[in-house]
Amino acid sequence: MTDNMYIERSCRISENTIWLDGAPYWKGLPAASFIDFAKEAFRLLKVDYPKFYKMDNLSKLVFLAADFLLQQQDKDGIALVMANRSSSLDTDIKHQQSIQEKESFFPSPATFVYTLPNICEGELCIRHQLMTENIFLVDECFPTETIEMYAAYLLRSGKAKRVMCGWAELFQENYDAVLYLVGPNGEKEHTKKNIEDLFR
C-alpha cells in the first residue's frame, strides 16, 4: 500500500522545446515542423529503434516525452494513465483522405491502426516492456481530478508500482505533451495543485 505519493519526474514537449522537471532541456529550430522537430529530438536520444519512423505523430510525441522521462529509471510496474483533447483526429483525417474519393480509394492498414488514441500507449508498452494497466481518456482539457484519482487507485490497490500520467495532445502542428511519473519517492506531493503547476 502506498499512501505517500509523489510526482517523481516530469517531461513536457511543446513549441519545439523539451523541458525536464520544469527546466528547458533542449530546444529545436523555432520554425521547424513537428515532424522535423521530432526527428531531431529522436536523434538526441541516441537509441536504435527504427519503429519510431513508422509511428503516427501522436505516438512519436508520446514516445519522445516518455523516453526522456524514463532515462535511467527503473521501469518495473509502470502503469499508463493518459488523456488528450483531439483523440486520434490527426491520423483520422489522413485515413479519411485515403477513402474520400472513389478514384483514389486506398485505405492503408499502417495508417488505420493509429486511428485510436490508446495506440500511443501501446507503443510505449512495447518500447519499455510495460505489461501494466493502461487507460486513455479524451477531454477538452486535462481532467486533473480524474487522472489524480485513477493513478492513486492504481498505486493504493497495488495494481501498479508507479504510474506515468499525462496529457498527450497533438493535432496537425499544435502539440503539447506533459508526462509525469507518480510513485512512492520524491518531494513534490501528488496533489491537484502540484499537477496543475506542471501545465503552467
For residue 194 the three cell numbers come to 502540484
- Which of 133, 144, 179, 190 is in the footprint of other proteins by CB under 8 A? 133
Q: CB nearer to other proteins: give 9 or 127.
A: 127
Q: Are 113 and 59 in contact (CB under 8 A)?
A: no
For residue 31 the three cell numbers come to 520554425
Residues numbered 142-161 forming contacts with other proteins, rule: CB under 8 A: 143, 145-146, 149-150, 152-153, 156-157, 159
174-183 β-sheet, strand order: 23-27, 17-20, 6-14, 174-183, 162-171, 78-84
Give the number of other CB atoms < 10 A from CB of residue 44: 15
Q: CB nearer to other proteins: give 18 or 81.
A: 81
Please tell me the distance from the alpha carbon of residue 5 to that of residue 85, in angstroms, as a whole number.
26
Please tell me the distance from the alpha carbon of residue 50 to that of residue 151, in angstroms, as a whole number.
31
- Which of 69, 70, 119, 178 is in the footprint of other proteins by CB under 8 A? 119
Closest approach of Cβ 46 to other proteins, in Å? 23
CA angle 138, 21, 167 (to 5 degrees): 5
Residue 129 interacting with other proteins (CB under 8 A)? yes
Residue 117 interacting with other proteins (CB under 8 A)? yes
Please tell me the distance from the alpha carbon of residue 93 to that of residue 61, in angstroms, as a whole number.
18
Q: Are 179 and 66 in contact (CB under 8 A)?
A: yes
> To which H or E segment does residue 18 belong?
strand 17-20
Q: CB nearer to other proteins: give 26 or 171.
A: 171
Residues numbered 81-110 forming contacts with other proteins, rule: CB under 8 A: 85-87, 89, 92-93, 95-96, 98-100, 102, 105, 107-109
Closest approach of Cβ 72 to other proteins, in Å? 20
Give the number of other CB atoms < 10 A from CB of residue 11: 26
Q: How many residues bind other proteins (CB under 8 A)?
A: 53
Residue 71 interacting with other proteins (CB under 8 A)? no
Residues within the interface to other proteins (CB under 8 A) = 1, 80, 85-87, 89, 92-93, 95-96, 98-100, 102, 105, 107-109, 112-113, 115-119, 121-123, 125-126, 128-140, 143, 145-146, 149-150, 152-153, 156-157, 159
